[in-house]
Amino acid sequence: MIIEDRYGLEFTTESDIAREQYIVARDVLLSGSGNALQATDAALSSDPNFALAHAARARALRSAAKFTEANEAAMCAVKAASCAHEWEQQHVAITADLTAGRLGPAFAKLKSHMARYPRDALSISSASGVFGMIGFSGRIGREPEQVAFLQPLREHYKNDWWFDSAFAFALGENGAADQSLDLIESSLQANPRSANSAHIYMHVLIESNQADSASQWLQQWLPSYTSDELLYCHLWWHLALFQLHSGQLEQMQETIATHCLPNQSTCPPINVFTDSAAILWRSQLVGAHTEKEIWQHVRSYGDQWFPRPGVFIDVHKAVCLAALEEFTELDAYIETLQTANDNNKLRSGEVVIELARAFGEFAKSEWQACADRIDRVCDQVVRIGGSRAQRRIVAETRDAARARVR
């Protein structure tokens, strides 16, 4: 039986329950609110051969950094898709490449797929946002590329809460926050409990110099969002950052300890690790103190989940080593990064190596050397991944070093 969803896409399943639960899972993945694995498990209990449910399960497992299980789910999707609709087969093929880390082939397939099926929102979402395929490309022009990628799709997503949020984020990160505010407010009006929309609203307000408004709004939105949901750690990180910048250091430290550090949520490990390392470092730049045991805890968590360099992760690993003043290990890590770069396996390139050195120089009180090094690569920092708000860790480090020179 073939059944359509709100995007006009046909599902190959005999089960109404499987269809309904897949739509729940898809919307969880698009919104960041709810439990995608719970929904995919319910869908597959009703139809074990539903290819899209296996693919959605793969996406959810990949987000949780359970890469082996994600690949297994993707292979189940490939097998089940043999009798599915053409768009489902293409969707599954993109997911299989994505979960296996074959980002080049996945992106090429996605561009071909979206020309024929522009309303496959879940596939398109894999290349949107700062952690998507474009955001993690390491390309210096990734921000305008993100806008150019989504712009032609606007006609296919009139008044769609997911697309409005995704395009608002792209515009805001490309220096057009004034154009994105109406879009993100429209998204929130249509789906006020979308965590992705709430998150993007924070970024748009930050880039619009409305941090106080963002902080007040977030404090009202957060209490009903639970620790097993996708963006729990990261949204609390935003609140901690607001507290940091307003001088509320005690409140910030409580927020970090309660909501952001490892073991305080089931959020994606990349968020837990990078958010924890970043906020601890940025707080120390303004004089807050972090016990060594906390830094060691964050560092161990990063080593556990990310044994090899990766976009955005590598900079934060360097931050941990610098904060712990483990300079011999930092030098060894820089050598690892250099080898990866020499073999064209460091997507962000030389800028990561230079920033790792700069963080080490800061920790050694070599203020001028740190500031000068960051100045030399500041036009390349976009390559490390993350949002503008996240990448400000670099400028804040440089500015703190300059202040100490004086």
Task: Tell me what pLDDT residue 5 has.
Answer: 80
Assess if residue 330 is contained within a domain: no
Residue 18 lies inside a defined structural domain of this protein: yes
CA gap 29, 63 in Å, rounded: 9
pLDDT (tens digit per residue) in 122-166: 999 999 999 999 999 999 999 999 999 999 999 999 999 999 999
d(CA 199, CA 32): 10
Q: State the SS3 of 4-60.
A: ECCCCCEEECCCHHHHHHHHHHHHHHHHCCCCHHHHHHHHHHHCCCCHHHHHHHHHH
CA pair distance 128, 218, nearest whole angstrom:
23
**Helix/strand/coil for 2:** strand
Do 232 and 267 touch, CB atoms closer than 8 A?
yes
- What residues make up the domain containing 46? 2-126
User: Could you report the per-residue pLDDT of 67-90, keeping only the tens digit for each?
Assistant: 999 999 999 999 999 999 999 999
> In whole angstroms, what separates CA 164 from the centre of its chain?
18
CB 86 within 8 A of CB 49: no
Q: How many CB atoms lie within 10 A of CB 379?
A: 10
Last residue of a domain, one of 60, 93, 126: 126
Could you tell me if 96 and 7 lie in one domain? Answer: yes
3-state percent breakdown (helix, strand, coil) of the chain, nearest 5: 70, 0, 25
pLDDT reported for residue 6: 85
Separation in Å, CA 108 to CA 62, 97, 104, 151, 387: 20, 10, 6, 18, 24
Residues 114 and 165 in one domain: no
Domain presence at residue 103: yes
Same domain, 141 and 67: no
| Domain's final residue, options 75, 107, 126 | 126
Q: Cα(146)–Cα(131) distance, rounded to whole angstroms?
A: 11
| Per-residue pLDDT at 68 | 96
Q: Which residue type sits at 88?
A: E
The structure tokens listed for 304 are 């556990």
Task: Note the pLDDT of residue 335.
Answer: 97
Q: How far apart are CA 108 and CA 101, in angstroms?
A: 13
Final residue of a structural domain among 126, 155, 173: 126
Cα separation of the two ends of the chain: 72
148: domain CATH number is 1.25.40
Angstrom distance (rounded) from CA 65 to CA 273: 12
Same domain, 195 and 94: no
88 with 17, same domain? yes
* 63 Cα distance to chain centroid: 9
Considering the domain architecture, whether residues 118 and 12 belong to the same structural domain is answered as: yes
Domain-embedded: residue 291: no
- Answer whether 122's CB lies under 8 Å from 26's CB: yes
Residue 97 lies in a domain: yes
Q: How far apart (Å, rounded) are the C-alpha atoms in residues 258 and 226?
A: 13
User: Phi/psi of residue 21, each to 5°?
Assistant: -75, -30
Structure tokens at 250: 């005690």
CB 291, CB 252: distance < 8 Å: no
| 97 and 168, same domain (yes or no) | no
Q: Which helix (DSSP H) or strand (DSSP E) does residue 357 occupy?
A: helix 350-363
Q: Tens digit of pLDDT per residue, the chain (406 long)?
A: 555 688 999 999 999 999 999 999 999 999 999 999 999 999 999 999 999 999 999 999 999 999 999 999 999 999 999 999 999 999 999 999 999 999 999 999 999 999 999 999 999 999 999 999 999 999 999 999 999 999 999 999 999 999 999 999 999 999 999 999 999 999 999 999 999 999 999 999 999 999 999 999 999 999 999 999 999 999 999 999 999 999 999 999 999 999 999 999 999 999 999 999 999 999 999 999 999 999 999 999 999 999 999 999 999 999 999 999 999 999 999 999 999 999 999 999 999 999 999 999 999 999 999 999 999 999 999 999 999 999 999 999 999 999 999 7
- How far CA 32 is from CA of 56, 64, 187, 401, in Å, comes to 13, 12, 14, 37
146 in a structural domain: yes
pLDDT at residue 3 in the model:
58
DSSP alpha helices (H): ranges in 210-326? 211-221, 232-245, 249-255, 269-285, 292-305, 313-323
84 and 196 together in one domain: no
Q: Is residue 85 assigned to a domain?
A: yes
Classify residue 284 by burial, with Cβ atoms within 10 Å: 0-12, 13-18, 19+: middle
Same domain as 210, residue 148:
yes
Question: Same structural domain for residues 115 and 13?
Answer: yes
**pLDDT value at residue 2:** 53
Let me know if 307 is exposed, middle or buried by CB neighbors in 10 A (0-12, 13-18, 19+). Answer: exposed
* Overall number of domains in the chain: 2
Residues 110 and 161 in one domain: no
Kindly state whether residue 255 falls inside one of the protein's structural domains: no
Coil, helix or strand at residue 128: coil
Task: Please tell me what DSSP assigns to residue 3.
Answer: E
Residues 34 and 148 in one domain: no
- Taking residue 244's Cβ as centre, other Cβ atoms within 10 Å add up to 22
Dihedral (CA of 230, 233, 234, 236) sign: positive
